[in-house]
Amino acid sequence: MIDKRKNRRLGIILFSASILMFGFGFALVPLYNVLCNALGINGKTNTTPVAEAYSPIDKSRVVTVQFIATNNENLPWDFHPSETQVKVHPGENRLITYFAKNNAGKTMTIQAVPSVTPGIAAKYLRKTECFCFTQQTLMSGKSMLMPMKFHLDRDLPKNINTVTIAYTVFNTTGQTRGKSSKAGRISK
Amino acid sequence: MSDAITHTGDHTHGHGHDDHHGPHIKKGILPWIGRWVFTTNHKDIGTLYLWLSFLMFFVGGAMALLIRAELFKPGLQIMNPDFFNQMTTLHGLIMVFGVIMPASVGLANWLVPMMIGAPDMALPRLNNWSFWLLPFAFTILMSTLFMKGSAPNFGWTFYAPLSTSYGPPSTDFFIFSVHLMGISSIMGALNIIVTILNMRAPGMTMMKMPIFVWTWLITAFLLLAVMPVLAGAVTMVLTDRHFGTSFFNAAGGGDPLLFQHVFWFFGHPEVYILIMPAFGIISEIIPTFSRKALFGRSFMIYAIAAIAILSLIVWAHHMFTTGITLSAELFFMYATMLIAVPTGVKVFNWVSTMFQGAMTFETPMLFAVAFVILFTIGGFSGLMLSIVPADFQYQDTYFVVAHFHYVLVPGSLFALMAAVYFWLPKWTGHMYNEALGKWHFWLSVISMNVTFFPMHFLGLAGMPRRVPDYALQFADFNAIASVGAFVFGVAQLLFLANIILTIRGGKKATTKVWEGSQGLEWTVPSPAPYHTFATPPVVK
């Protein structure tokens, strides 16, 4: 005897389960970000400012911090760090700048996205100020120096002597997402 | 298990002759079309699935031959690189979603109700809809070839940003067709689970169920778990392309690497979805032609369940070179290696079933034995790929191509062919042509090895995947592989011919068909009547 109600009920339960899994696919997005932040993996740095370091500086260690700049998709901007590498002690606050110039014939907005190598070092790189926290807009032909202030946590694993921060700039002109801000720039 | 089954009364006789040929329909093309479009009979729908799969097999195969023709010698011969990329993309998508999956679902439709003594699938109208979404899905997918710009050209894995920022306009059609395939698979899987759990004949306990039914039960649960995630992934690609979201767009705060996590969370269980029904088929065929019960039957069931669970936690082994942390690499490496244990149990049990059996080598058995040997080779190259430092060398080379073709061609595909030869007499009432079947087998098994074995060497020597042109030192092995591919392609025409000849005539098949056949489907007449087990059999 076929119990149609029973079949339909189980069918509905299973269908709900598949809807739940569809939701789970989307839940992977925040889950991924939470995990990356918590575990400090994937080279992701903080996206909002943190407090400056006040703890004593660890003078016994010197860590080389290198800066890299990349333009995504032939973006017509000049974009490079003012100095390619600095030596810092863990716990020491340091300000560096990136130079940016818009060579396009129109006003453009960019977003810089950082990535840290080795990935595990991202957890120990603290940025108190960064041009990457917001989108940056420049009129045609204008240039600016963009600041980035950071310190390395004193708990940085002992085997890490070099930290590389790579910034890629993306063209976000015309995209309204994210906050565009002129704060924190040093105009030239 | 066969001696535990007694078939109470031959209830099929009262239905008359027409039962063998389907429902009463008026003569003419429209009633004929109507019969197939509106059918809710599990055997009809199984047949539709199998024919669609066979058609797509030749379409996807033709694309593979175009790829191999281009790669026959170095340099660009017959197509530009962009068209080459479209061919590799569509070949992959069609073989995975258009050939292996529909054929497996088709077999489940035909066999699961008969094997568990049910009159039909639990939700017959849903079943009709599951199938009829597919022709539309593949029409949409194929139509992209004729669109302005190009067809999808980013590989079947459609990694972002290739499919988001750089995808051709036709990507949206690809996304919609994947949605349709996903809905079809989810509904098909749901139907199979309900059928197996609710429609078993009295006395057919879970542990008495044939292994093919067991593999499909577990496969169906995997499908329900991961097909929605694929649907989510393509939806995210769609909204990234058109609705301003930034799931995979670094500029907007997203992460392209996230795509790979979401995709492979679906993608790795997917490869087990492709192979597990094949495990079930082989576990039915080997005991039949060894004239023994399956060795370690309950362990086979536990092994499938273990593989299914492990398959959900190994996805990042596709991403060893993306810069994931050392601890993650270690976890995913060991978890992947762990899958070799239940898989090893299965191979051991197949071999032990054959051991000291009274074996005969009819075509289905030949395919099954080849499956055991060649799938194991594919499994071993998989183990090699699971080793992180080795994978750094193998990643994105022809070694990977060799690996997954070894598990999919002599794995899934051979099992499906074995299944067609094995159950064709039950479906059509005629024995297939054994000589032609053996020709098909030997041509296939030899040419398949000629095609894919040299790819191991090409990969180890450093030839990358997805390239239309290559360095001169790879020329010889590529030429050999191309020759093998064309022989393999031609051999499949023998398969088509054999099936058509068997449908049209041939030696009458008996009810039992095979001397050693076990299970309820061999207790109904050949060809199986249109309606079987209207009154459930009693399984003791």
- Comparing B8 with A71, which gets the higher pLDDT? A71
Instruction: Give the ipTM of the model, two decimals please.
Output: 0.85
Please, which residues 60-79 of chain A have a Cβ atom closer than 8 Å to chain B?
A: 72-73
**Helical spans, DSSP H, in B243-296:** 256-290
pLDDT of residue B390: 95
Q: Do A172 and B126 touch (CB under 8 A)?
A: no
**Domains contained in chain B, number:** 1
**CA gyration radius for chain B?**
23
pLDDT at B444 over 60: yes
Predicted confidence (pLDDT) per residue in B222-277, tens digit = 999 999 999 999 999 999 999 989 899 887 778 889 999 999 999 999 999 999 99
DSSP letter (8 states) at residue B529: P
Q: Name the average pLDDT for chain A.
A: 84
> What is the share, in percent, of chain B residues with pLDDT greater than 90?
88
Q: Do A10 and B193 touch (CB under 8 A)?
A: yes
CATH code for the domain in which residue B7 is found: 1.20.210.10
Over range B24-49, report the average pLDDT.
91
pLDDT of residue B20: 53
Among B26-40, B309-323, B442-456, top mean pLDDT goes to B442-456
Q: Is residue B531 part of a domain?
A: no
pLDDT of residue A179: 41
Considering only CB atoms, which chain B residues are within 8 Å of A22?
Answer: 228-229, 231-232
Q: Do B251 and A2 touch (CB under 8 A)?
A: no
Which residue in the set A25, A113, A175 is minimally distant from B228, CB to CB? A25
How close is the nearest chain A Cα to the Cα of B179, in Å?
A: 12
pLDDT band at B23 (very low <50, low <70, confident <90, very high): confident
Predicted confidence (pLDDT) per residue in A16-71, tens digit = 999 999 999 999 999 988 887 777 676 677 777 777 777 788 888 999 999 999 88
The answer, for A10 touching chain B at a CB cutoff of 8 Å, is yes
Q: Is residue B93 part of a domain?
A: yes
Q: Residue B348 sits in which domain range?
A: 2-523
Q: Do B228 and A29 touch (CB under 8 A)?
A: no
Q: Is residue B539 part of a domain?
A: no
Q: Of A9-13, A15-19, A58-62, B309-313, which gets the smallest average pLDDT?
A: A58-62
Nearest to B152 by CA among B94, B103, B99, B98: B94
pLDDT at B13 over 70: no
Task: Report the SS3 class of residue B364.
Answer: helix
Which residue in the set B190, B229, B249 is minimally distant from A25, CB to CB? B229
CB B105 within 8 A of CB B172: no
Residue of A nearest to B221 (CA): A14
pLDDT of residue B92: 97
pLDDT at A115 over 80: yes
Distances (CA, A) of B354 to A153, B292, B295, B519: 63, 8, 9, 19
pLDDT band at A176 (very low <50, low <70, confident <90, very high): low
Q: Is residue B136 part of a domain?
A: yes
Q: Of A48-57, A82-91, B321-330, which gets the smallest average pLDDT?
A: A48-57
Predicted confidence (pLDDT) per residue in B279-300, tens digit = 999 999 999 999 999 999 999 9
Q: Is residue B71 part of a domain?
A: yes
Distances (CA, A) of B497 to B58, B439, B440: 13, 12, 10
How close is the nearest chain A Cα to the Cα of B260, in Å?
A: 12
pLDDT at B540 over 80: no
The per-residue DSSP string of chain A comes to ---HHHHHHHHHHHHHHHHHHHHHHHHHHHHHHHHHHHHT-TTPPPSS--PPP-SPP-TT--EEEEEEEEESTT-SEEEEESSSEEEE-TT--EEEEEEEEE-SSS-EEEEEEEEEESGGGGGGEEEEEEGGGSBEEE-TT-EEEEEEEEEE-TT--TT--EEEEEEEEEE-TT---S-B--TT-EE-
Q: Is residue B297 part of a domain?
A: yes
Task: Report the SS3 class of residue B450.
Answer: helix
Predicted confidence (pLDDT) per residue in B158-181, tens digit = 999 999 989 999 999 999 999 999
Which residue in the set A8, A32, A111 is minimally distant from B261, CB to CB? A32
Over range A106-132, report the average pLDDT.
86
Over range B58-70, report the average pLDDT.
97
Over range B314-340, report the average pLDDT.
92
Q: Is residue B340 part of a domain?
A: yes
| Dist CA B209 CA B390 (whole Å) | 41
Q: Do A11 and B190 touch (CB under 8 A)?
A: yes
Q: Do A21 and B228 touch (CB under 8 A)?
A: yes
pLDDT of residue A122: 83
pLDDT of residue A58: 84
pTM: 0.89
> What is the share, in percent, of chain A residues with pLDDT greater than 90?
30
Q: Do A170 and B251 touch (CB under 8 A)?
A: yes
pLDDT band at B17 (very low <50, low <70, confident <90, very high): very low
pLDDT of residue B5: 44
Q: Is residue B532 part of a domain?
A: no
The answer to whether the peptide bond before residue B464 is cis (omega within 30 degrees of 0) is: no
Task: Report the SS3 class of residue B474.
Answer: helix
Q: Name the average pLDDT for chain B.
A: 93
Please, which residues 75-134 of chain A have a Cβ atom closer than 8 Å to chain B?
A: 111, 113, 117, 119-120
